[in-house]
Structure 1
C-alpha cells in the first residue's frame, strides 16, 4: 500500500528524537550533531575539559530529507526547531558571530566556536612555539610563532575590516574568495622562515597595501571607524585577526611553518654531530603526521576571549 511522503518537519523531528534515544541507550548525557568527523576531536576535548563526568554521543553527519548522507553546517541547522538539552548542535561560527546572526546562541541550544572555525583555536599563538619540542624532542630556537602571527594579523587587519564592511553592504564587491586569496601566502613549495618569515610577510604586506589603496580610492566615503570599534568589543583587534579569518587557511599556514621549523631544528642538530656519532634524539619517521596530531592538542582553556565564551556557554546549558 502506498504511504505518503513524510514532511520535512516531521522527518527532522523524528531524526532528532532518534538521536536522543541513541544517546540514552549509550548512557550519554546528550547527543551532539557536529559538522564533520574532524569537528568531533575539538568538541569532545571541550566537553571532556568542562564536563569530565559526562559522556556525549557525537553525530558527524546525517541523512537529509531526501535520504542522502549529508555533512556541514547547513545540515546541522536543519535541526534548529528540535534542539534541547538532550540534543544540541556545535558549529563553526564562520562570520556568524561577528555579524551577530540571530538565534545562533546557547539559548537556542547551539554552540559555536566564536572564532571562524575550530581550526583557529588549535592555532592559538601562545602554544605554537612548544610544538617543535613535542614533535622532535628538540627546542625551537629558530622561529617565533607568536610574533609571526601578531605581524600577520596586523597586516591583514584593515583589509578584513573592509571585507566585513562589504559582507553587509555588497558582498559581490569584495567576495570571500577574493579576500581569502589576498591573505594567503603564495608558497610554491615551502615557506621561507628566515628572519621569522620577514620575506613572506613583506610580500603579503605589499599585495594587501595595494588592495587597500584601491579600496580607499574607489570608496572614499566609506567610514570603517564605527565597525572597528564594534568589532574590537567582540575581540577582533589588529593582534587577533588570525582567529577570525578562515581557519583552514590559518591551520595550513601554521602546519607548513611548523614543518619547516622541525626540518631546520633537526638539520642543525644533525650538523652539530660529526663522524659516526649518533645524535641523542630520534628523527621521528613520518613526523609530518605528528605535526597534525600535536596541533590538534593545542588548546589553551581560559587564555583568550573566544575559548572563555565557549566555557560560559557550557555553564549556561548545564
Structure 2
C-alpha cells in the first residue's frame, strides 16, 4: 500500500511538472528577455493573489531579474496553499518561488509541520500578516481608497484610530480563536463563531465609529461570558500565549492584521469603507448642487462626477499602499536575502538591456 501511494505521489508530481514546464515555455516565448536575464516563476495560491504579489515583485525587477506571477496549473483544477506547498517540495523545480498566506503559521512558529516547512524553505515566501487581504486593509492606506472611489479628499474619518480601537475591542476573542487553533481544537471557538462575533453590521461615521465600537464591545463581552462558562480553565494558559504572540509582533492595537483575511475585508473593512464613501459622495454631490451652475452646466458637472466614481471593492482590491507596514518589511527582507544569495551563487549575471 505504501509503495502504491508513493508511486501515485511521484506520478502526480511528474504530471504537475509537465504542466509547469509547458506553462514556463509559453512564458519564455511571450516575454522577450535579453541573453542571460533570469526569469523567475512565482506561484501563488489563487487568481485573487496575483495582483498583490505582482506589486511585491515589481520592486525587484531589474536588469538582473524578471518575475512572472502565476497560479499553478493542474489537471484537477485544485488551487490553494496545499497545492503550492506540494509543488515547492518537487526537487525538479528550478528558478521558481512559492508565495502563500501565512495564516497562523508565522504566529505559531515551528509548532506545526507546515510552519516548519515554510520557515526552513528559502524559496517559500509568506505574508507574515494572516493573508494578502490584511495588507489590502492596512489602516493608514484606507483614506486613499476612499479618495480613489469618491474623488473626494476630505478627511472625515480617522481609520488608524478606528482600527486600533477595533483591534483592542476584539483582542480578547482573538486570543480564544488563535489559542484554539494552536492546540488543534478549533471546536472550542470555530471560525464561524469568531466571524459572527467580530463583524460589523453598520458604521456610525459620526464620532469616528464610537457608537459602533460600543455595540461591538457588548457583542464581544457576551461571547466571552459564554466561552468562559463552557471552558473555565482555558484562560489560565493565556499569559504564556500572549507572550509568544507579542514576540511575533501582535499587540492589542494591531490585531486586525492577524485575523482571518476574508473576515476582515468582507465583514469589517468593506462596511466601514462603504459608510465613509457614502458620506463623501453625498458631500461632493451637495457641493455640486449648491454651486452656481445651472441647467446643462449643472447636469454636465453631475455626470462628470458620477462617471469618475470607482467601485469601492475594486479600489480596495488593487490597493498598494501597505508597504510601510512592519510585517511587509519582514517579507521584503526575506526576498532581498534570497536574491542576494542568488547573486552570490551565480555572480556572472549580465542582463544589461539595450
TM-score by length of 1: 0.86
Pick the structure with more helix per residue.
Answer: 2
Aligned position for 2:332? 311
Verify the 8 A CA contact 2:46 2:79 in the aligned structure 1: yes
Aligned position for 1:179? 194
| Inter-partner Cα distance in structure 1 for 2:149 and 2:220 | 34
> Gaps spanning 5+ residues in structure 1: where?
none
Verify the 8 A CA contact 2:136 2:316 in the aligned structure 1: no
Q: Post-superposition shift, 1:85? A: 5.8
Aligned position for 2:345? none
Q: What CA RMSD, in Å, does the superposition of the two structures yield over aligned residues?
A: 2.7
Give CA-to-partner distance per residue, 1:182-224, whole Å, 9 cap, x none.
111235xxx4323222222222111111122233344333320
Aligned position for 1:51? 61
1:25-104 counterparts in 2 under 5 A?
Answer: 25=29, 26=31, 27=33, 29-53=39-63, 54-63=65-74, 67-82=75-90, 86-100=95-109, 101-104=115-118
Aligned position for 1:226? 240
Residues 1:11 and 2:15 are matched in the alignment: yes
Tell me the secondary structure at the aligned position of residue 50 of structure 1: coil
Verify the 8 A CA contact 2:201 2:271 in the aligned structure 1: no
Superposed structure 1 runs of 4+ greater than 6 Å apart: none
2:138 corresponds to which of 124, 127, 134: 124
| Inter-partner Cα distance in structure 2 for 1:123 and 1:106 | 28
Aligned position for 2:219? 207
1:232-247 counterparts in 2 under 5 A?
Answer: 232-247=246-261
| Inter-partner Cα distance in structure 2 for 1:137 and 1:73 | 37
| Inter-partner Cα distance in structure 2 for 1:137 and 1:286 | 7
Aligned position for 2:179? 165
| Inter-partner Cα distance in structure 1 for 2:284 and 2:182 | 52
Aligned position for 1:300? 322
| Inter-partner Cα distance in structure 1 for 2:314 and 2:137 | 11
1:275-290 counterparts in 2 under 5 A?
Answer: 276-277=293-294, 278=298, 282-285=304-307, 287-289=309-311
Verify the 8 A CA contact 1:106 1:313 in the aligned structure 2: no
Tell me the secondary structure at the aligned position of residue 117 of structure 2: coil
Q: Post-superposition shift, 1:245? A: 0.8
Aligned position for 2:343? none
Give CA-to-partner distance per residue, 1:47-81, whole Å, 9 cap, x none.
00233443222222411xxx322222222122022
Give CA-to-partner distance per residue, 1:95-152, whole Å, 9 cap, x none.
2211221111373411111111111111111121233333333223321111111111
> Gaps spanning 5+ residues in structure 2: where?
1-6, 110-114, 340-354
| Inter-partner Cα distance in structure 2 for 1:291 and 1:178 | 25
Q: Per the alignment, do residues 10 and 151 of structure 1 end up closer, same or farther by CA in structure 2, a change over 3 Å counting?
A: same
Larger Rg: 2
Tell me the secondary structure at the aligned position of residue 236 of structure 1: coil
Tell me the secondary structure at the aligned position of residue 305 of structure 2: coil
Q: Post-superposition shift, 1:280? A: 7.3
| Inter-partner Cα distance in structure 2 for 1:151 and 1:261 | 17
Q: Per the alignment, do residues 8 and 274 of structure 1 end up closer, same or farther by CA in structure 2, a change over 3 Å counting?
A: closer
Q: Per the alignment, do residues 205 and 293 of structure 1 end up closer, same or farther by CA in structure 2, a change over 3 Å counting?
A: same
Tell me the secondary structure at the aligned position of residue 88 of structure 1: strand
Q: Post-superposition shift, 1:258? A: 2.1
1:133 corresponds to which of 130, 137, 147: 147
2:161 corresponds to which of 135, 139, 147: 147
